[in-house]
């Protein structure tokens, strides 16, 4: 029974295929278009033939302009540079001179009549100078060693450069009135001669001139290193005028 049924089905399929081919081939024009259609299908090819080499130019890899490594390095060095600039700025700000006036050169230092023999020294701040008028009659150990005349002393301590003040009330070796450095205690006579302390020499002196009216000028660009003969550098008015 099964065999018969199969035979019936196969016969029916054969019949239907036969009918269909007959339908397609029923018209010559239709047959030609089918052939053209098959030819077109067979000519199409989407597969890449074996052993086909793709040129490298076609396998182009797009690289980013800034890599992560470059970005991290750039950030580090930028931060480092900014920090360094900050330190340099702080350093310059700390050490940059402010309020410093021009120093070297001639400065007016009053009139000779402003300084009495043996009177306390007078300071001219802009010139960093003490003007003293030594009294030859002053026999004290802080006096002028018998010398007479005007002397211009640089206030800068020869030790480490502190400004040295005159201290009229300071008593040392049973005498009042000394130049006394506040930094390390170097002590000088009225003529700037060192008597105590770490300073390597006496106070330096400036050249001094006077005009016809008796006006003194201290020349801070003409410095003579201090020594024990400081008092001998004092000049009377007549000596100053002879030099002018």
Could you say whether residue 160 binds ligand FES (CB under 6 A)? yes
How many CB atoms lie under 10 A from the CB of residue 145?
Answer: 21
* Binding-site member from 183, 207, 223, 237 for ligand FES (CB under 6 A): 183
Q: Which stretch binds ligand FES (CB under 6 A): 8-16, 26-34, 90-98, 193-201?
A: 193-201
193 binds ligand FES (CB under 6 A): no
Residue 139: count of CB within 10 angstroms of its CB = 10
Please count the residues of this chain forming the interface with ligand FES, following the rule CB under 6 A.
12
Q: Which of 121, 129, 159, 204 binds ligand FES (CB under 6 A)?
A: 159
Instruction: Count Cα atoms within 13 angstroms, Cβ side, for 49.
Output: 4
Residues 6+ apart with CB under 8 A from 232: 147
Q: Which is nearer to ligand FES, 123 or 241 (CB)?
A: 123
Contact 210, 112 (CB under 8 A): yes
Give the C-alpha separation, 229 to 57, whole Å. Answer: 94
Which of the ranges 67-75, 84-92, 111-119, 192-200 carries the binding residues for ligand FES, by CB under 6 A? 192-200
Binding site for ligand FES (CB under 6 A): 157, 159-160, 162, 181, 183-186, 197-199
């Amino acid at each position: 029974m099964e065999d018969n049924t199969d035979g019936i089905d196969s016969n029916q399929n054969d019949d239907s295929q036969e009918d269909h081919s007959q339908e397609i081939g029923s018209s010559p024009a239709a047959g030609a278009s089918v052939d053209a259609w098959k030819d077109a299908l067979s000519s199409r090819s989407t597969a890449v033939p074996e052993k086909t080499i793709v040129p490298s130019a076609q396998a182009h890899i797009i690289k980013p302009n800034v890599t992560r490594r470059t970005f991290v390095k750039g950030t580090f060095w930028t931060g480092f540079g900014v920090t360094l600039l900050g330190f340099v700025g702080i350093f310059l700000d700390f050490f940059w001179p402010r309020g410093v006036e021009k120093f070297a050169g001639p400065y007016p230092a009053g009139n000779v009549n402003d300084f009495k023999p043996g009177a306390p020294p007078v300071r001219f701040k802009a010139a960093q100078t003490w003007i003293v008028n030594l009294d030859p009659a002053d026999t004290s150990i802080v006096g002028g060693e018998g010398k007479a005349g005007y002397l211009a002393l640089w206030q800068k301590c020869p030790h480490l450069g502190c400004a040295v003040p005159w201290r009229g009330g300071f008593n040392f070796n049973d005498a009042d009135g000394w130049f006394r450095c506040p930094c390390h205690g170097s002590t000088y006579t009225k003529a700037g001669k060192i008597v105590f302390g770490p300073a390597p020499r006496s106070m330096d002196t400036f050249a001094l001139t006077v005009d016809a009216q008796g006006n003194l000028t201290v020349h801070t660009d003409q410095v003579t290193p201090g020594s024990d003969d400081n008092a001998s550098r004092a000049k009377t008015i007549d000596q100053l005028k002879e030099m002018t």
